[in-house]
Homo-oligomer: A and B are copies of this chain.
């Protein structure tokens, strides 16, 4: 679990760093946007839940973003080539962050609907903060089934729990739910409808 979280943090950091690089931000800007993408969702979660941001007691994410920046600086060509692999990592990160947000909300006494929302915010919030930082319309509002995958994973969690499954099953089910929906949505270009404007 811990290593999966690190992989997710790394993938989110690289996603922020790449988009900031396209915007011609300097190395400091890249670091901050990478950090905001990687820890932004969890920070929103912690502010809403009324607890201290998780990175106050855990400097590992700050370090991972720094390592991501160094790697991107020296191997940006390579990283752009393995964008498909990065998509896999990003989806793992999305799934694991959703589960972490959901369980933290439950631990702090939230109802299951709020827990699903907090899970989706934890997973998808970093990408929204990234897009606001680089002054773009948040991507998730237009193009992809992204946050909805988090919601699907959250529903899977409570469905399996309701059916009497053990923690390993509903934790795994949540992660699998997010990943499968995201993969299917990307593969088959699922898109939500838009309202027709005259």
Contact = CB atoms under 8 A, between A and B. Distances in A.
A56 interface: yes
Q: Copies of this chain, how many? A: 3
A111 B55 CA distance: 11
A158 B193 CA distance: 48
User: Which of A48, A56, A136, A198 is the most central at the interface, judged by chain B CB atoms within 10 Å of its CB?
Assistant: A56
B52 A48 contact: yes
B21 A194 contact: yes
A113 B194 contact: no
Contacts of A134: 137
Contacts of A48: 43, 47, 52-53, 56
Contacts of A132: 132
A28 B141 contact: yes
Contact of A198 (B52, B77, B111): B77
Contact of A193 (B26, B59, B147): B26
Given A25-B142, A138-B133, A59 B113 contact: yes
A147 B28 contact: yes
A140 interface: yes
B141 A29 contact: yes
A89 B141 CA distance: 26
Given A28-B148, A29-B141, A59-B113, 17 more contacts: A21-B194, A25-B141, A25-B142, A25-B194, A26-B141, A26-B142, A26-B191, A26-B192, A27-B194, A27-B195, A30-B195, A32-B147, A48-B53, A56-B111, A62-B117, A134-B137, A135-B135
Would you list the 4 A-B pairs with minimal beta carbon distance, nearest first?
Answer: A29-B141, A26-B192, A25-B141, A135-B137
7 contacts: A21-B197, A27-B193, A29-B138, A29-B141, A47-B47, A48-B52, A76-B195
